[in-house]
């Protein structure tokens, strides 16, 4: 079981992504990297940046960035822990979360909207990671 958000969790997520044939097919034309940012707040003493590099249905890299300037990803998706929990537990669709501004997106929303199935499958991969939550 991995604590969210952490380097251990994002690395387990990378494995789940790379083992998913459904994600691989849905994202075969997707190119882009991103930060999942968990905002400082309940159970999270400071902003946490989880980096993911997605390329044609594969996760090429994933890690917790101790310095947010270590990468300049194409996208940044930011939310507090309770919203991320809803996403990871598949109780909030990520596209709907962005449209309702529960998830704050920096980057080209049009590009994301061209690949809704890939976004859905990416979130589904979260459900395969046994996740612990901070108190």
Strand 75-80, strand 131-132: pairing:
unpaired
Alpha carbons 87 and 99: distance in angstroms, whole number: 14
pLDDT tens-digit readout, 48-69: 999 999 999 999 999 999 999 9
pLDDT tens-digit readout, 65-92: 999 999 999 999 999 999 999 999 989 9
pLDDT of 120 > 90? The answer is: no
Domain architecture of the chain: domains with CATH:
2-128 (3.30.1050.10)
Sign, CA torsion 123/39/43/35: positive
Share above pLDDT 90 across residues of the chain, in percent, rounded to a whole number: 88
Is the model's pTM score more than 0.85? yes
Alpha carbons 50 and 46: distance in angstroms, whole number: 13
Do residues 32 and 54 make contact, with C-beta atoms less than 8 angstroms apart?
yes
Q: What is the pLDDT, as a whole number, of residue 135?
A: 78
């Amino acid at each position: 079981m991995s604590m969210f958000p952490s380097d251990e969790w994002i690395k387990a997520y990378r494995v789940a992504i790379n083992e998913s044939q459904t994600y691989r097919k849905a994202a075969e034309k997707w190119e882009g990297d991103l930060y999942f940012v968990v905002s400082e707040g309940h159970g999270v003493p400071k902003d946490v940046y989880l980096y993911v590099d997605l390329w044609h249905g594969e996760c090429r890299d994933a890690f917790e960035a101790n310095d947010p300037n270590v990468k300049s990803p194409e996208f940044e998706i930011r939310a507090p822990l309770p919203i991320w929990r809803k996403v990871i537990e598949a109780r909030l669709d990520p596209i709907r979360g962005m449209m309702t501004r529960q998830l704050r997106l920096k980057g080209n929303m049009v590009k994301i909207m061209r690949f809704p199935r890939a976004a859905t499958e990416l979130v589904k991969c979260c459900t395969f990671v046994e996740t612990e939550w901070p108190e």
